[in-house]
Amino acid sequence: MTRQLHFGGFQIASQVTHSHAAWRHPGSDTAFTTPEYYHRIGRILERGKFDFVFFADLLAAPVRYGSDITEPLRRGTQATATLDPSIVAASIGAVTSKLGVAITKSATYFHPYELARIFASLDHLTRGRVAWNIVTSLTQGEAQNFGQDDHLDHEFRYERAEEFVRTALELWSSWDPDALVLDKTDGVFADPSRVRQVDHDGQFFRTRGPLNVPHSPQGRPVLIQAGSSNTGRDFAARWAEAIFEIDPTPEGRRAYYDDIKSRATNFGRNPDGVLIFPAFIPFIGETESIAREKQAFHNELADPISGLITLSVHTDHDFSGYDLDAPVEDVQVTGTQGLFDTARRVANRDNLTLRDIGKWYAQGVLLPQFVGTATQVADQIEESFTAGEADGFMVSAAQTPGTFNDFVDYVVPELQRRGLFRTEYTGDTLRDHLGLTQLASPNGVAHAVA
């Protein structure tokens, strides 16, 4: 059987995603505080047989650039206004039946018990369609919102996150699949012998357990990560079943793909069970010139300061005092190190100034743009897929929901004609869609899904 593509639709529960121009686009719906906004997106992606919709998230308003919220609010940059994605996920799950819902939750500012309970509940309410995007959070602003003066050190965050994930896995395993009996005649609600305390007492976390949510349809959510630093890549290769990646160059995507698969093998995992999803923004037209007009119109709406505001958030480094027309400096950042390394690599190659980087970042946070007719965009996807850059892709919108409508109506049928993408869902859970048949137990040993 021909190797099949996977697709996720990238979202933030806000007015923008990667594109900071999106909310200004005349074709964009800006009613992001309403359920209908997300229901519409979910139904479009399910019509296109997408594996999942993916929600990124930040836990603080963007205050890093110049230590002031004024410009981020005026310009409407990432995280100025964002709903809780776990609530949005439940809402989307209620109006779809197959589409997976992946949401971001921090392993730094929540407790494993709280997080395990949220995801087990969502997995029940969606009948097994939930994924957890594991993050360690980015910024000092997030730390301060949770009562801490400073954000934890990068390496320490990942060390702590290792125990967080293990603890959550223990909690999800505290109910056997058949523990819930519901025998009305004999008055037996659950079999106590099939529910266990966890009694986790580790370096960073303590929890007695058991979880008070019964075993969910998937056993636990699909685990997603976006490791880009060396430590982050190790963490992703150790735990993730799907990995979200940003790299604007084919050679960068190939190198990342090979590196992660190699690291997964070194951790004793089957690399085929670690699916890599680079992201892109599509611009689709009846002709190539129409598509390029759409791209140019969108890109012109992006302003450099908006991009630098979000770059400051992502790197936890204030770029407000730099000369915009100077080359990108070799600064040390504490946030998303791998993403800034990518920006610096391309800036050095193409002689880009900080203003150029800001403009590029506002256009789509370094994402490549696939432009052309449906056939040409499908060609670019197929080329990247067959060249060993990806197992699937994260599709990010230049306008909402128009980008998703165009992709589903025109590009998906072309990929289906080529035998590269499903014509119907063949399973019910997100784990089914992704072809993931193994779960990682808390001690790291794989076992079959119950």
User: Which residues 6+ apart lie within 8 Å of 43 measured at CB?
Assistant: 95, 96
Asked whether residue 268 falls in the same domain as residue 353, the answer is no
Asked whether residue 162 falls in the same domain as residue 200, the answer is yes
d(CA 450, CA 220): 11
158 is in an annotated binding site: yes
pLDDT exceeds 50 at position 450: no
Asked whether residue 202 falls in the same domain as residue 314, the answer is no
Asked whether residue 112 falls in the same domain as residue 211, the answer is yes
154 is in an annotated binding site: yes
Identify the pLDDT of residue 443.
43
pLDDT tens column, 387-397 = 999 999 999 99
Asked whether residue 359 falls in the same domain as residue 386, the answer is no
Query: 347 lies in which domain range?
Result: 303-363
Residues 54, 132 contacting (CB under 8 angstroms): no
pLDDT tens column, 224-268 = 999 888 999 999 999 999 999 999 999 999 999 999 999 999 999
Domain end, chosen from 341, 363, 385, is at: 363
d(CA 26, CA 16): 14
d(CA 347, CA 349): 5
- Kindly state the average pLDDT of the residues 285-300: 98
In a domain, 392, yes or no: yes
pLDDT exceeds 60 at position 445: no
Asked whether residue 273 falls in the same domain as residue 403, the answer is yes
Asked whether residue 153 falls in the same domain as residue 271, the answer is yes
104 is in an annotated binding site: yes
Sign of CA dihedral 314, 318, 324, 326: negative
Residues 448, 218 contacting (CB under 8 angstroms): no
| Tokens read off for 450 | 């119950």
d(CA 390, CA 403): 21
57 is in an annotated binding site: yes
289 is in an annotated binding site: no
d(CA 314, CA 301): 21
pTM here?
0.94
Asked whether residue 104 falls in the same domain as residue 201, the answer is yes
Asked whether residue 216 falls in the same domain as residue 84, the answer is yes
In a domain, 258, yes or no: yes
Considering its fold, how many domains does the chain have in total? 2
Residue bearing the bigger pLDDT, 30 or 151: 30
